[in-house]
Chain A
Amino acid sequence: MNRNIWRGTIVACGLLISLLVSARLASAHHSYAMFDRTKAVTVSGTVAKYDLRNPHMFLWVYVKNPSTGKQEVYAFEGGSRNMLERQGWNNHTFAEGEKLTITYNPLKDGRTGGYLVKAVKADGSVIGGDPAAGPGDGTIPGVSGAAAQAEQEAAEKTKRQEKK
């Protein structure tokens, strides 16, 4: 089997694991009502800053606006530091200046950024695995807590209305 097939297999496995894990339980620091976790959007950009701290990881990325040609700053939130480190993240997971393709649950208010679902590096490797991220297939992770249940119900209601 050549290297490209191996690489593709590893990436596919990583994506599958990331989706399986992400479809479940969220952390409890805040409500995720500001994100549309039923949708996943993808952009490509350049890492400006990677901040692996608590209570949430932040990844700041320059993304070129195709309409204006200007570089805009996007902010992507992730899980807590220890939760991500348990899945192999560390201070060197991303480097300033690195090119990434990022999938995220967008902010409902339209600002640039959202909740990180996964990041694909230039070599094809996939970084993901935050259980709070919605996979973007119309479902959101199951969580305990009244606000999270309400978010789930609101998403299901929207889905029903779209079907009609």
Chain B
Amino acid sequence: MALFRIALFISLAVFSTSVRAAEPPQGDNWDSIKLLPDWAGAWGDYDWETGRLRGGEVPNKIPFNAAAQAKVDAYRKLAAAGGDVTYRTQNCIPGGFAGTMGGPEAFLEFLFTPGRVTITSESGLIRRIYTDGRKMPAEPDESFHGYSVGHWEGGTLVVETAGLDRNNDLPANIPAGKGLHVAERIFLTDQDMLQIDSVIEAPATLTAPYRVTKHFLRHRNYTMNEVNCSQNNRDVDKSGRQIFDLTPPDDLPPPPKE
């Protein structure tokens, strides 16, 4: 009996080790990171040759609930009448990332360190995705980047993000509200093409999950830049309402004499 138990223990130990060995690398140490796919360089989803987002436009049909749709309609009516349609981003409030990462202004980069993938954007967004096996906290504090946990399924990074600030914008400049949750699958479709499939759930705003797919081209030797909204923002007044401040700079040279 004792021999049988020892044999069983050894068998289970060998089986367990073999299962672990078959698990895809999780990037939990530098040796494991070497086995992850190469995502070096900067990634942009805007195609300058066609003037369109790669793989098609972000779909405009968003399953808003009645209250959110009413806000969209009121906003559109105000804009059509020439009213104040200040974007919250004009006041340098982060635009969020739910389905909107990228765009013509903001390239992305992916940084691998043990137990973590960090996504930085030229827009200033920094996302930390913990791949060290931790679970999502029950009630993460709200922030614009949220709390992200992830794991690798072969060459695909699977990410879940919660704890997102309720003022995160959905793609129609509408705040998502409380309970925003984003699930992403990020993977290479070609050597230099990355795809991000997002499923956005926003129970305060949407009647159904909103699915967005984006494609990013690699720019391997690009030097990341920045889009700091507060550097020379002439688009809002002191109260934050939309204006177009044409006060000339103090250091303008005198006009030409001719």
**A111/B235 contact (C-beta < 8 A), A25-B51, A151-B80 known:** no
Chain B residues near A58: list those with CB within 8 A: 232, 234
How far apart sit A78 and B233, CA to CA, in the bound complex (Å)? 12
Nearest B residue (CB) for A132? B104
Among the 9-residue stretches B8-16, B25-33, B155-163, B169-177, the one with 4 or more Cβ atoms under 8 Å from chain A is: B169-177
Q: Which B residues fall within an 8 A CB radius of A?
A: 46, 48, 50-53, 57-58, 60, 72, 75-80, 82, 85-87, 89-90, 95, 100, 103-107, 122, 171-174, 225-229, 231-235, 242, 244, 246, 248-249, 251-253, 255-256
Number of A-B contacts (CB under 8 A): 162
| A46–B256 touching, CB < 8 Å | yes
Q: Which A residues fall within an 8 A CB radius of B?
A: 20-25, 27-31, 33-34, 46, 48-49, 51, 53-56, 58, 60, 62, 71, 73, 75, 77, 79-83, 85-87, 96-97, 107-108, 111-113, 131, 142, 144-147, 149-151, 153-154, 157
| B75–A147 touching, CB < 8 Å | yes
| A34–B58 touching, CB < 8 Å | no
The 8 closest A-B pairs by CB, nearest first: A24-B51, A71-B255, A150-B79, A82-B225, A150-B76, A147-B79, A147-B85, A53-B232
Contact of B226 among A49, A82, A113 (CB under 8 A): A82
Chain A residues near B78: list those with CB within 8 A: 150
| A145–B172 touching, CB < 8 Å | yes
Having A48-B253, A54-B226, A97-B253, one finds 14 other A-B pairs with CB under 8 Å, namely A23-B51, A24-B50, A30-B89, A48-B248, A51-B249, A55-B233, A80-B105, A82-B107, A83-B227, A145-B171, A150-B75, A150-B80, A151-B80, A153-B80
